[in-house]
Structure 1
Amino acid sequence: MIPLYTRVVAIDDVDDHLQKIVWGLGKAGFCALPFRFEDGKLENAPAQPLPGIRIVFTDIHLVGGGPNNEKTHAANIIKCLKQIVAPGPYVLVFWSQFPRDSDNIAVLIRERAPVAGLMPPIGHAAIDKNDVFKVAEPSRSEDFDAARLRDLILERISSFMTLAVAASWEDRVARAAARTTNRVFGLVRTAAAPTGDWENLLAFLACEAVGQHEARQELIPALDAALLPLLEDQLSLIGREPEPAAQDVQNLLDIVSAERRPACPASVTKSQLNASYLVEEFGADTDLPMWARGTVTALGSSFINSGPFVRAFHHDDATLIRQEFATRELTDDERRSTKLHVVEFGPECDHVQGKVSTHRYLLALLVPVPLMGAFTGVPKDAKKAPSTLRYRNDSVMDIGKITLAVSLPGEWHLLVSCRCFMALAQKTAVDGRPVFRLRRALMEEIAHRYTTHARRPGVMRFHD
């Protein structure tokens, strides 16, 4: 069951019908966001699509033309959904006096949504307006069966069980965020001026989390950094509260309880999973500096093999790739298929406190998957890969196979050298383009490799 008080959307072109579905949704325990469709557009449409909208109730026939003009009706619904629904899973519940048209309209929407730049719904259902009031007659309050509408709403959405599990998780995160706010405010609630002290406390926490200089530049991320530990703690507590309804999670329980371990769906590659969990790819319109912690920058052609490049790494690119990464000689075409990058690796404490005077950039190399044998000790004429991969040296870390949807087609491995780096003064850039960033947990793993394997202390010893 979708959690109570979840936000849902209702769309209709008749004001009275819109009020009725909103009333029924309220009776069913949902927070309805009503939108009226008039003169070919939504009234008071949101400036941006709304994240977290999982259910949309909509009339099928938002304009005249009768039930036979299905393409026009589907196009109008798609137009509304593009304005309201952010990319993600959602279902449509058609609220119509012609519910028999719902299957055909749903097929048209699924066919045309990708072309329109809309993610298609993952399911649909229908509610007949005639079941709860007399559509063809003048509306009177005594004709409207709100209880019946409530029951129909709950019945129609009960079949979307996996969506209910996801919505329940989103609800727990929202409740954890609310508890975090309550916990912080609880520290000042007995003060003489609680509102003022609350503001000062939030400002103090933001500065303590990232440093005053950084908080001035980016206040909202600073607040996120300050409150995230409390949020994670509260989420772990909420996780022990009553779980979603048993029937909602039964399918998942059946899968995880099977004798064989669940397999990753064939539609999802491991490289896509790695890209989702380990990195965040920047969009085409992202304008982030290369000196932000964990940023991976593709080095530009004017910098590679330039004087500053050779001074930083002591070699040209061909020699550098061979000495740091490759386990056999590369042809010119093989070498050109790889991409030199650097990973910003300034100390986290310096980033937090705004004290970065020198940025350290670890050398990294994007290697196409078919060429990985040349970087893992596989002879060129080998019939099969060895059981144990052998990288060039202990400092090389392979973050795994990733797919970059925006910057580069295909599947890649990012190899990071934890012993080869260049240092630049604060906020000094070289020719290059930031393409993605490594997530915090991965940066911690690289830091462990860096300190354990690449920068261990040592002294000269002399033996007989």
Structure 2
Amino acid sequence: MFGFNNKIIVVDDNQDDLSQICNEFYKRGIGCRGFLYDGLTFPSEPLRGIQIAFFDINLIQGNNNTEIYSALKDAISQYISESNGPYVLVFWTNRTDLIADFKDFVNRTNDNFKQKLKPIALSAIDKNDFLDPVNSLEEKLETIFNIDVVKCLFSFDDSIACAAWQTLSEILNTIPFDVSWGETDKFSNNCKDVFSKIAINTYGFIHARKNPDNAIKEAIVPVFQYSLLKEDNKYWEEYLSNLQIAKKNEDINYPEGYKVSTLNTIFHIDTIHCECKTNRGAVCLINSSDKESLEMFEEAFGCSYYDWYSRLLPGTQKKDRNQSTLIAVEFSAACDFSNNKKRTYKYLLGVIVNPDVYDKIEKDKIGDYALLLPYIFNIQGEEKRICINLNYTFAAQVTSLILKETLFVLKKEIMDMIGNKYANHVSRIGITGFY
């Protein structure tokens, strides 16, 4: 619970210099972790949660700069995890001329270090000036924090932490204490009851009992969102200068080579909680290359997979079908899923296709039952689209032979959209008319 705070780390091979810089932070109430570099002792695994990393460039007394750079690169990868996220790298050294050479050294090799340990800002502070008591630490740090991207992202991180605590405090303030000051047992028990009720009303009793952590997290999201929105700050407005001067949407473009598919996946696909085929939004594989599965498909739906595919996506070819993945999407009503009602599990038939399939579809022949999700997703490292046939639903148990493993789970927002599209489709009114 009280783990190390890794937001600021300092790495140096000189104990006196290390102690002095860490003490400068401590005296100002700023937490940091200091590491004495010896080339042998490192954390059991690289650290995460680092926002600012101070490294002395000369961690070893090398015979040449290549040895110094190699040791520095290795040290950074030993202390900072590739999954750390955005961080600022500060070299504190009296050899600032080495920084440009070190960058060239790193850029010679297209390895994981270059790809995954890129700092959002790189700065340098002269070690001699830094340790000089006449010079102000605040001024030097202020220079770093005023880099626009650093100021925005770290300010946003602080706002998130404040909003999270504010959310928790608002709920805790509703829970009664014992009338006697200092008696806390009653409050603790009351907390258990209130948060249990919050979990139950969010996930339903059965699901809340199975996974109270997720139930509480999902329950407080709307309150947290409100707490975050009412934070009075303008750091995004200050940072997004391009948005302020844009006249229309087309004035702003994604960076060259940017994978929008990965962004869509972050927002709409859960690849972690996909152990159960009966979870709402579970996308289950149906093996379209297996003869037995194809026979079950034809017996269940009264047509071959090939005919079904051609009607869903008219104009596509055999090659497109062979490169597609047949799927079933669990789409129980959210309330039924939350309350774990006894039910047969309902699935919609669909396919995962290559993005170019949409360009081949004969639009005038496509049926109103075809729900072609407009987004490109990054699925197992490949860009794909998802198509669903709203006319083909079926009920199945978890033991159904036609359903293979769960590939991933579609998140709530996109499942609500699919559910709404399905409801509108099945409730549409036919009208007899003459033209």
Q: TM-score range by the shorter chain?
A: 0.7 to 0.9
Provide the residue aligned with 2:116 in structure 1.
118
| Residue aligned with 1:156, SS | helix
Q: Does 1:12 align with 2:3?
A: no
Q: Does 1:182 align with 2:180?
A: no
Q: Determine the C-alpha separation between the residues in 2 that align with 1:358 and 1:21.
A: 64
Partner amino acid, structure 1, of 2:156: W
Q: TM-score, normalised by structure 2?
A: 0.84
Provide the residue aligned with 1:434 in structure 2.
406
Provide the residue aligned with 1:139 in structure 2.
none
Displacement after TM superposition at 1:211 (Å): 2.4
Which aligned pairs between 1:232-271 and structure 2 lie closer than 5 A? 232-238=225-231, 241-244=232-235, 250=238, 252-259=240-247, 261-271=251-261
Displacement after TM superposition at 1:186 (Å): 0.6
Q: Determine the C-alpha separation between the residues in 2 that align with 1:70 and 1:214.
A: 55
Provide the residue aligned with 2:183 in structure 1.
none
Q: Determine the C-alpha separation between the residues in 2 that align with 1:316 and 1:364.
A: 14
Q: 2:216 aligns with which of 208, 211, 223?
A: 223
Q: Does 1:419 align with 2:412?
A: no
Q: What is the aligned residue count? A: 419
| Residue aligned with 1:242, SS | coil
Displacement after TM superposition at 1:392 (Å): 2.2
Q: Does 1:277 align with 2:267?
A: yes
Displacement after TM superposition at 1:254 (Å): 4.1
Q: Determine the C-alpha separation between the residues in 2 that align with 1:327 and 1:127.
A: 63
Q: 2:280 aligns with which of 289, 293, 297?
A: 293
Provide the residue aligned with 1:319 in structure 2.
307
Q: Determine the C-alpha separation between the residues in 1 that align with 2:47 and 2:84.
A: 8
Contact 1:256 1:262 in 2 (8 A): no
Partner amino acid, structure 2, of 1:309: F
Which aligned pairs between 1:25-424 and structure 2 lie closer than 5 A? 25-26=25-26, 30-42=30-42, 45=43, 49-51=47-49, 53-65=50-62, 68=65, 69-83=67-81, 86-112=83-109, 114-116=111-113, 118-133=116-131, 144-145=132-133, 148-159=136-147, 161-191=148-178, 193-238=186-231, 241-244=232-235, 250=238, 252-259=240-247, 261-280=251-270, 282=271, 288-300=275-287, 301-302=289-290, 305-323=293-311, 325-328=312-315, 330-377=316-363, 390=364, 392-404=366-378, 406=380, 409=382, 411-424=383-396
Q: Give the 3 Å change call, closer, same or farther, for CA 71–57 of structure 1 in structure 2.
A: closer
Q: TM-score, normalised by structure 1?
A: 0.79
Contact 1:82 1:118 in 2 (8 A): no
| Residue aligned with 2:347, SS | strand
Partner amino acid, structure 2, of 1:205: I
Instruction: Map Cα deviations across residues 16-64 of structure 1 (whole Å, 9 max, x no partner).
Output: 322322233456674323333334232xx3756424x332112222333
Q: Determine the C-alpha separation between the residues in 1 that align with 2:297 and 2:278.
A: 17
Contact 2:293 2:402 in 1 (8 A): no
In structure 1, the gaps of 5 or more residues are 134-143, 378-389
Displacement after TM superposition at 1:345 (Å): 0.7
Q: Does 1:446 align with 2:418?
A: yes
Q: Give the 3 Å change call, closer, same or farther, for CA 350–303 of structure 1 in structure 2.
A: farther
In structure 2, the gaps of 5 or more residues are 180-185
